[in-house]
Amino acid sequence: MNYQFEKNKLYNYLGQRLVDVFKEYKVFIAGGLITSLFSNREIKDVDVYFRSEKLLTEFIEQVYEDNNDWINALTTKALLVRIDDKEVQMIHFKYFDNAQEIFNSFDYTVCMGAFDFLSEEFMLHEDFLKHNSQRILKFNKNTAYPVVSLLRVHKYKEKGYMISKPEFLRIALKCMDMKIETIEQLKEHLGGMYGINLDKLIELKDGEEFSLDLIIDKIADLSVSEEYFKEPIKERFNDVEEIIEYITKKPAKVTTINNHTYRIKSDGSLKPIENIPKNKVEYDGEQVISNMKFYKFVEKRGGRYFSFWDKEFEYLINERAVPKGKDYLYFNEKLDITSSSYSNSRGAVLIEATIPHLDFYIKNSDKVMAKSCIVTREVPKSEYEKWETEETLLGDCIFSE
């Protein structure tokens, strides 16, 4: 079945902006939303899963909003934000190539439904529809966090689901099989997803040594603690770079050029940053610029290349171009050529250039300003039209993984 009605309902709920960005980053939606969709219940939030860390960080950069309420919660497992009035939880504790890998990490078959925005198809576990119609819980022993699964039984009972004693015993036995020897390991299992944040409330005092008996006693006292009914303290971040630094496992690549600091993104492009990440690898600015190419659309007249802004300013292949007076030359990086003011102008062709390190002034938004350049070639249209659809634009860039 193609489930066209459910697909239309999903797209209508999300709205065109979210649908487009989900397609662009090839995400999966899985879990509660899909269950609600097929059970005709109210949708409360959107759990989004990614194929790679690169796609996740680029997604965050695109949808990031610079305001205090954009970040609702950021944990070691997920980032919960509000996009177009939708609660969107971006899962980042692991990345997935297909829906089955996501299902392998889930706790109950009633959750094992997904929509793949790459193929634009629903993927359902063979028992997903049956167990949701019967309102029964069947446990997946390979789930990532069985303690949370145990806690979620209460949530599902409130929704009218039932669990048999053997199934409940299976969950308990799986929890017994876990090796939890430190407070950090315990917190890894107790918090970060499904609205459960007990990890924020259980702390060891100075001099206390970890033991499960001690934790059990502490949990017994939680309900009389002043903190129990308070919302757990949320992480606060000043900008998107801090969010990405918190989520990513690899050090950020940074460089400084002409007293301006940039992060070298996974696609090789430069992003201006104000707050320098603590976990970083620094690259020499001259080396970075020497390995980069820059682009702009110009007007081709009689085999010669002229600026659209200044009709008399000519670019010559393999020769240095210097702007008039105190002006600058404006270029784009490879990914940004479609934002050029003249990309659709009549007679426009794309030229490629290098910029000497000392003449690279600044990158501001999607524009690169330079004091000079050397034009290397005209880029065939058939070549640059393919760039938008390429999986990676790094080519032989020395900064690629």
pLDDT score at 391? 46
Residue 229 lies in a domain: no
Give Cβ neighbours of residue 277 (< 8 Å, ≥ 6 apart). 241, 242, 245, 251, 252, 254, 263
In this structure, the answer to whether residues 219 and 74 fall within a common structural domain is yes
pLDDT at 5: 94
DSSP 8-state secondary structure symbol assigned to residue 145: -
In a domain, 244, yes or no: no
Sheet of 252-257: strand order equals 270-272, 260-264, 252-257, 280-283
Q: Which two three-digit tokens encode residue 33?
A: 């939303």
Q: How many CB atoms lie within 10 A of CB 149?
A: 23
Phi, psi angle pair for 112, to nearest 5°: -85, 60
Judge if 114 and 158 occupy the same domain.
yes
Domain boundary residue, one of 205, 224, 243: 224
**CA 64 from chain center: how many Å?**
10
The number of folded domains in the chain is 2
* Residues 257, 145 share a domain: no
Q: How far is CA 240 from CA 21, 147, 364, in A?
A: 18, 32, 16
Residue with tokens 């970890």: 210
Same domain, 180 and 133: yes
Is 34 inside a domain boundary? yes
Confidence (pLDDT) at 388 = 67
The CA distance from 60 to 266, in Å, is 13
In the chain, which stretches have pLDDT less than 50?
Answer: 194, 196, 228-229, 391-397, 401
Angle at 358 between CA 355 and CA 363, to 5 degrees: 60
Identify whether the C-beta of residue 125 lies closer than 8 Å to the C-beta of residue 110: no
Judge if 186 and 273 occupy the same domain.
no
Same domain as 209, residue 311:
no
The amino acid that residue 361 corresponds to is Y
256 shares a domain with 215? no
- In terms of domains, do 185 and 279 share one? no
Q: Give residues with Cβ within 8 angstroms of 363, minimum separation 6.
A: 260, 262, 270, 272, 333, 369
List the beta strands (DSSP E) in 84-199: 86-91, 113-116, 121-124
In a domain, 240, yes or no: no
120: in domain: yes
Which residue shows structure tokens 């000497």? 356
Same domain, 96 and 157: yes
Q: What is the pLDDT of residue 170?
A: 95
Residues whose CB is less than 8 angstroms from the CB of residue 249 and which lie 6 or more positions away in sequence, other chains included: 53
162, 71: one domain: yes
- What is the model's pLDDT at position 191? 63
User: Mind giving me the DSSP string for 246-258?
Assistant: HH-SSPEEEEEET
Residue 39 lies in a domain: yes
Q: Which two tokens stand for residue 103?
A: 């299902």
Domain-located, residue 155: yes
Q: Return the structure tokens found at 308.
A: 């659209």
Q: Which has the closest alpha carbon to 350: 360, 361, 339?
A: 339
- Indicate if 210 and 101 belong to the same structural domain: yes
**Cross-strand bridge partners of residue 191:** 197
Helix axes 183-190, 146-158, angle to 10 degrees: 30
3-class secondary-structure state, position 9: helix
Within 10 A of 134 (CB to CB), how many other CB atoms are there?
A: 13
The radius of gyration of the chain from alpha carbons, rounded to an integer in Å, stands at 26
pTM attached to this predicted model: 0.72
Q: What type of residue sits at position 335?
A: L
Classify residue 243: in a domain, yes or no.
no
CATH of the domain at 13: 3.30.460.10
Rounded CA-CA distance 324/16 in Å is 45
One domain, residues 77 and 10: yes
Range of the domain at 184: 4-224
